[in-house]
Amino acid sequence: MPRRVYDNTRRAEQARLTRRGILDAARELLVDRGPAAVTMRDVAAHAGVSVETVYKTFGTKAALIKDVYDVTLAGDDEPIPMIDRPEIQAVFAASDPRDKIARYATTARLVGERVGPLLAKLLAGARGGDPDLSRFRETINQERMAGAGGFVRHLAVTGGLRADLDPDRATDIVWTLISPEVYELLVSDRGWSPDEYEQWLTRTLTDSLTTR
């Protein structure tokens, strides 16, 4: 490998490791303290880097929070869209509509487990009137709507959606049922296990979307 290529590769890998360390540090602080009590300087100190590095890497606290959420949602920092990840591809690959829904519910459960503690703190900040967190909430709601709509369209194209159910209404149903607020209410507030949540979500989505 030419020296220049080797050096560029090494720098890129070091930058990625630094970014990952900052994201891990930020997530720990956000879950522990809540977003209002976490500054970029706090994150830098916890990650063992300069505050200039944090700003250079993410730009703003709002951008850092969104990146923390995105990596937590995905489960890693690989640049792979959610739709291309194995768990979603497994939904598309299933032949039976009920199997598709079961696999989709499994994905929703995994997402809830990953983002639950973090998102609880971020949504509390949004309810508290923080404009950046309010915009964050709007963004993730829109992203969840896009994902729900894609799933409903897939069910419709493959013949799994009830003929009497309007796709827009079906999307609203899925968007609501897979919301982090519902996961938190049932698992954190009511003490359901993640398994119980997944089983309930599978049954409810099946009853709502498919022909009985």
Break the chain into its structural domains and give their ranges.
1-78, 80-212
Q: What tokens were used for 3?
A: 């020296």
Q: Under DSSP, is residue 38 helix (H, G, I), strand (E, B) or coil?
A: coil
What tens digit of pLDDT does each residue of 147-185 get?
Answer: 999 999 999 999 999 999 999 999 999 999 999 889 999
The answer to whether the beta carbons of residues 123 and 181 sit under 8 Å apart is: yes
Q: What tokens were used for 41?
A: 């300087």
Residue type at 56 in one-letter notation: K
The answer to whether the beta carbons of residues 210 and 98 sit under 8 Å apart is: yes
The answer to whether the beta carbons of residues 84 and 196 sit under 8 Å apart is: no
Mean pLDDT on 93-106: 96
Distance CA 205, CA 181 (A): 17
For position 5, what pLDDT does the model report?
A: 57
What DSSP assignment string belongs to 39-86?
Answer: -HHHHHHHHTS-HHHHHHHHSSHHHHHHHHHHHHHHTS-----GGGSH
Q: Which residue bears the tokens 């508290």?
A: 128
Mean pLDDT on 25-37: 96
The answer to whether the beta carbons of residues 54 and 68 sit under 8 Å apart is: no
CATH topology classification for 80-212: Tetracycline Repressor; domain 2 (1.10.357)
Residue 204 has pLDDT above 90, yes or no: yes
Q: Under DSSP, is residue 87 helix (H, G, I), strand (E, B) or coil?
A: helix
Find, among 172, 174, 169, the residue nearest to 202 by Cα. Answer: 174
Mean pLDDT on 109-133: 91
Mean pLDDT on 39-59: 97
Helix (H) or strand (E) holding 208: helix 194-209
Question: Does domain 1-78 match CATH 3.40.50.970?
Answer: no
Mean pLDDT on 75-97: 91
Which are the contacts of 89, defined by CB distance < 8 A and separation ≥ 6? none
Mean pLDDT on 6-24: 86
For position 44, what pLDDT does the model report?
A: 98
pTM of the model: 0.89
Q: What tokens were used for 87?
A: 């768990």
What tens digit of pLDDT does each residue of 123-145 get?
Answer: 988 888 889 999 999 999 999 99
Q: What tokens were used for 180?
A: 């982090």
For position 66, what pLDDT does the model report?
A: 96
For position 83, what pLDDT does the model report?
A: 86
For position 4, what pLDDT does the model report?
A: 63
Domains 1-78 and 80-212 are alike in CATH topology: no
Residue 23 has pLDDT above 80, yes or no: yes
As a whole-number percent, the residues of the chain with pLDDT over 70 amount to 96
What is the Cα gyration radius of the chain?
20
